[in-house]
Structure 1
Amino acid sequence: MRREHGTPRDGWEKTIEGQGLAYHRAAHPTGLTRPYWDESVHYVFSMEEIEALEEQVEELHGMCLRAVEHVVSTGRFADFAVPEWAWEEVARSWERRDPHLYGRFDLRYDGTGPAKLLEYNADTPTSLVEASVVQWFWLQDVHPGDDQWNSLHERLIDRWRALRLPPGPVHFAFTNADETGEEAMTVAYLQETAEQAGHATISVAMEDIGWDDLGRRFVDAGDQVIRSAFKLYPWEWMLSDDFGRHAVRHATWIEPLWKALLSNKALLAVLWELHPGHPSLLPAYLDGPRELTSYISKPLLGREGASMRIVTPEGTAETPGRYGREGYVHQGFEALPDFGGQRPVLGAWVVADEAAGLGIRESTGLITDDTSSFVPHRIAD
Structure 2
Amino acid sequence: MRKIQLSERPNWRDHAREVGFTFADMHGEPYWDESSAYVFSLRQIEDDLEDPATELHGMCSEAAGRIVESEELMQRMGIPEAHRDLVAQSWRARDPEIYGRFDLAYDGTGPAKLLEYNADTPTSLYESASFQWQWFEDQLAAGVLPEGCDQFNGIHEALVARFAEVFEPNSDLHFTAVGGNPEDYGTVEAMGWAAREAGMGAHYCDLDKIGLSEDGHFLDDESRIMGVLFKLYPWEDLLRDDYANHIAGSGCLFLEPAWKALLSNKALLPVLWQMFEGHPNLLPAFFEADIGSALASGGMAPAGIAKPFGRARTQLEAGHVTKPIFSREGASVVIHENGAVLESASNTDYAEHPRIIQAYAPLPECDGFRPVIGAWIVGEHCAGIGIREDRSRITQDLSRFKPHFIQD
The answer to whether the superposition gives a TM-score over 0.5 is yes
SS at match of 1:143: helix
Q: Identity, % of aligned pairs?
A: 43
Q: 2:113 touches 2:361 (CA, 8 Å); kept in 1?
A: no
Pairing 1:361–2:358 present: no
Q: How far off its partner does 1:235 sit?
A: 0.7
Deviation per CA, 1:304-323: give whole Å up to 9, x if none.
11111111116313213210
Which amino acid is 1:150 matched to? N
Find out whether 1:238 has 2:238 as its counterpart.
yes
5+ residue gaps in structure 2?
142-146, 296-312
Q: Does 1:191 align with 2:192?
A: yes
Amino acid at match of 1:132: A
Determine the C-alpha separation between the residues in 1 that align with 2:18 and 2:163.
24
Choose 162-171 or 121-130, whichever is displaced more. 162-171
Could you tell me how far apart the structure 2 residues matched to 1:168 and 1:209 are?
19
TM-superposed CA distance for 1:88, in Å, is 1.0
Aligned to 2:260: 259
Q: CA deviation at 1:249?
A: 4.0
For the residues of structure 1 that align with 2:204 and 2:90, how far apart are their CA atoms? 25
Is the CA contact (8 Å cut-off) linking 1:168 and 1:227 kept in structure 2? no
Letter of the aligned partner of 1:298 in structure 2?
A: K
Whether contact under 8 Å (1:296, 1:310) holds in the other structure is: yes
Paired residue secondary structure (1:296): strand
Q: Does structure 1 retain, via aligned residues, the 8 Å contact 2:216–2:249?
A: no
Aligned-partner residue type, residue 189 of structure 2: A
1:345 to partner: Cα distance:
0.1
The answer to whether the 8 A contact 1:41-1:375 is kept is yes
**1:36 & 1:105 partners in 2: Cα distance?**
20
Q: For residue 380 of structure 1, report the CA deviation from its aligned partner.
A: 0.7
Q: What is the letter of the counterpart of residue 121 of structure 2?
A: T
Equivalent in 174, 177, 180 of residue 177 of structure 2: 174
CA-atom RMSD in angstroms: 1.6
Partner of 2:365: 338
CA distance in 2, matches of 1:265, 1:139: 34
Identify if the C-alpha distance between structure 1 residues 227 and 353 changes in structure 2 by more than 3 Å, giving closer, same or farther: same
Letter in 1 for 2:399: S
- In 1, Cα distance between equivalents of 2:45 and 2:78: 36
Structure 2 distance, partners of 1:215, 1:265, is 36
Alignment-mate amino acid for residue 158 of structure 2: R
User: Is 1:318 matched up with 2:314?
Assistant: no
Contact 1:99/1:164 (<8 A) preserved: no
**Distance between the aligned counterparts of 1:271 and 1:22, measured in 2?**
38
Provide the C-alpha distance between the structure 1 equivalents of 2:33 and 2:245, rounded to a whole number of angstroms. Answer: 43
**Which of 53, 57, 61 does residue 57 from structure 2 map onto?**
61
Partner of 2:134: 137
Structure-2 residue corresponding to 1:18: 18
Residue 161 in structure 1 maps to residue 164 in structure 2? yes
- Taking structure 2 as the reference length, what is the TM-score of the superposition? 0.88
The 3-state SS of whatever aligns with 1:349 is strand
The equivalent of 1:123 in structure 2 is 120
Out of 364, 371, 374, the residue aligned to residue 347 of structure 1 is 374
* Aligned partner (choices 36, 39, 45) of residue 34 of structure 2: 39
Unaligned runs of 5+ in 1: none
Using the alignment, how far apart are the partners of 1:166 and 1:321 within structure 2? 45
- The answer to whether the aligner puts 1:298 opposite 2:298 as a matched pair is no
Q: Distance in 2 between matches of 1:358 and 1:321?
A: 28
With structure 1 as the length reference, what TM-score do the two structures score? 0.94
Deviations 1:92-131 (A, max 9, x none): 0000000110000000000112100000000000101111
Q: Which structure is higher in helix share?
A: 2
CA deviation map 1:205-237 (0-9, x unaligned): 11111111x312111122111111111011111
1:72 pairs, out of 68, 71, 74, with: 68
Contact 1:248–1:257, Cα closer than 8 Å, also in 2: no
Does structure 2 retain, via aligned residues, the 8 Å contact 1:166–1:228?
A: no
State the secondary structure of the residue aligned to 1:282: coil
Q: Which residue of 1 aligns with 2:307?
A: none
> Partner amino acid for 2:209?
D
